[in-house]
Amino acid sequence: MSTLYDPLRLSAVSLDVLTVGRATPAAVAARQRARLGAVLNAARRDSRFYRQHWSAVDEADLHAAAHPLALLPVVTRAELMANFDDWVTDPRLKLADLQAYTANPAHIAEPYQGRYMVWESSGTSGQPGIFVQDVQAMTAYDALEALRRCTPRSLVRWMDPLCLSERIALITAVGGHFASHVSAQRLRQINPWVAHTIQTFSIMQPVADLVAALNAWNPTVIATYPTVAVLLAEQAAQGNLRIHPREMWVGGETLTPVMREQVERTLGCTVRNNYGASEFLTMGWECSHGHLHLNADWVVLEPVDEHYHPVPPGQPSYTTLLTHLANTVQPLVRYDLGDQLTLHSERCDCGSPLPVIEVQGRRDQPLVLSGLHGAPVTLLPMALTTVLEDEAGVYDFQLRQHDARTLVLRLPQGGEAGQAAMTRCRAALHTFASEQGALPITLLEEVGQALPRGRSGKVCRVVAADPACTC
């Protein structure tokens, strides 16, 4: 059994989560302040990086301030990863050791040093990360995941908060230590009943194979990305996918009203949006009124402009700063998350004291290519980015579709290193497209050219032939 499971701690945190659901915004704020104080104390006491980073901030001023975070400087992923060994509060954690650990798929969901869950992020921001979670953080994730996932079947969910009567299909990247895959495997290890309710499906496999596997499993719940959900709806409309899920949990990408309507109409299920990241798994879930609520008792999000100045409620941010209130082994304090977010001051009619947010997620697009057997072949954006990251070792790129057999790959890296990276990318893309059943593709190469960025500062990394990317 995983050592990152404490039933007594989970019971206490779950009770608190349930209590907050009927509390006031002031009670939520009080919990946030208390947990923030504990995180700031741990970071200053045990992290050499933060002690140095905050050296210009007087500790007394920090404790006396009504808004202490405003006194602290912003940190970035690149900055933290460059100072990893000084950043973490456990001196036994070393970046080189963790990188060797995550390089081995056999270690997925295996507690590191018997006390930590470890996962790696994608390189969406151009810099992959390694994130270490202690039992306190995992307990918070477990409670939030089980008790704040709102569904219209409230009585059923109350009787079965862990979904033990469901057949859950998680469709995601499975080749590495990615957060969703690690978390699912951990749950399977903790509870033998859960092991029979959750099955993971790779987004890397051909669509026909994925459809056949889902037909065999016949899930009642599907958890995946919005682009995958739309693909499944299309397969159902064509008569290939013959399942009848009751719920679809989506996240990681932008869910548009058109996408939601298509999935709900075709598959006959309820779509629930969620918001999470490798840095904090469960930041928000959609309520029955269709609004995304921030778990503000466990995480602080600051919408800011390009100069890291706060933006007013109702205004979209340039980026968002995250402060993690559960993880003290790897403190995240005013961390530039890179997400564009709108925080609303109005309370939701659902009665929740938790604030309502809107998130501008990734807008990468599926590519539809000509297939070997006449039928078109769809390449999912998350699968393509996984191929380029894991097999080619490239994290900063844009892949654009020119036509049904031609792709354009742009890399900002130039010189010999850029050409070498392009060679790896070319081989990986040709192999993957072939494995998916596509006709041989032509790859047009752009090396040493800047990537186009939207107003949020982000890059649409996968763009279809008729691009509508506004990220």
For the chain, the residue count is 471
Q: Are residues 245 and 342 in the same domain?
A: yes
Here the CATH number for the domain that contains residue 344 is 3.40.50.12780
Question: For 342-358, how does the pLDDT look when each residue is reduced to its tens digit (9 = 90+)?
Answer: 999 999 999 999 999 99
With respect to residue 235, please indicate whether it lies within any of the assigned structural domains: yes
pTM given for the model: 0.83
Query: Can you tell me whether residue 169 is helix, strand or coil?
Result: strand
Question: For 240-274, how does the pLDDT look when each residue is reduced to its tens digit (9 = 90+)?
Answer: 999 999 999 999 888 888 889 999 999 999 999 99
pLDDT at residue 118 greater than cutoff 80: yes
Q: Are residues 322 and 426 in the same domain?
A: no
Q: Write 183-188 long-range contacts (CB < 8 A, 24+).
A: 183/109, 183/117, 183/119, 183/141, 183/281, 185/108, 185/109, 186/2, 186/4, 186/109, 186/117, 186/138, 188/109
Residues 378 and 367: their CA atoms lie apart, in Å, by: 6
Residues 292 and 295: their CA atoms lie apart, in Å, by: 10
By residue range, what is the domain housing residue 267? 7-360
- Structure-token pair, residue 436: 């998916």
Residues 130 and 27: their CA atoms lie apart, in Å, by: 33
Q: Are residues 19 and 40 in the same domain?
A: yes
- Structure-token pair, residue 195: 């092991």
pLDDT of residue 1: 42
Structural domain total, the chain: 2
With respect to residue 25, please indicate whether it lies within any of the assigned structural domains: yes
- How far apart, in Å, are the Cα atoms of 282 and each of 9, 214, 252, 323? 18, 25, 11, 13
pLDDT at residue 41 greater than cutoff 90: yes
- Structure-token pair, residue 60: 């007394």
Q: Are residues 312 and 375 in the same domain?
A: no
Q: Are residues 138 and 274 in the same domain?
A: yes
Q: Are residues 274 and 153 in the same domain?
A: yes
With respect to residue 470, please indicate whether it lies within any of the assigned structural domains: no
Q: Are residues 379 and 350 in the same domain?
A: no
